Amino acid sequence: MIRRLALLSILCLLAACATASRVGAANDVHALLVAIRDDDRAAFDARVDRDALKAEMSSRLSREASRLKVDGLDLGRLGVVAAPALANLAGDALIQPRVFRQVAEAYGYTRDKPIPGTMAIASQLKAMPDGRVCATREKDGPCILVFTRSSEGRWRLSGFEGDLSSLKIRL
């Protein structure tokens, strides 16, 4: 009986920590959405871990490039070599508010609608086993945006697991 009670207490504490992480992250996600809506580059940069995001994009581009074939010719090795340089260039061009506005709009956050409050955003975040949180489109859907808590306690966008082709530069 005592073991069950102890186990139940531990599970409740873990659930509370996960909820606290989501609520804490929701404040910073809200600030990121405001920066995206307002095209505020400084506020956006403060909420993005550019190095982590570039590294994640480079890794994904390398994986996708390794499967590159044109007319039956395997270009995978060439793609793997070129992917990090392309990711670096792409990262500089793609990691900006106006590009991520498209992602926000896919979630329903358009310029003509108010951004939901912290608790509504927290309900859309999912705690990950490694301590990060992610935003999904559906309740149990795959992660699209990943947020990591920085050493100063701020949650920052550190990963994009959505379709890379949805990130387009608007002129």
Q: Where are the domains of the chain?
A: 19-166
Which residues in the chain belong to E strands, given as ranges? Answer: 69-70, 73-74, 125-127, 133-136, 143-149, 155-160
Q: Provide the pLDDT for residue 167.
A: 73
Q: Which two tokens stand for residue 33?
A: 């959405």
Region 113-134 average pLDDT: 89
Residue 94, pLDDT > 70, answer: yes
pLDDT of 12 over the 50 cut: no
Residue type for position 136: T
pLDDT band at 29 (very low <50, low <70, confident <90, very high): very high
- The whole-number pLDDT of residue 43 equals 95
**For position 146, what pLDDT does the model report?**
94
Distance of CA 17 to the CA centre of its chain: 20
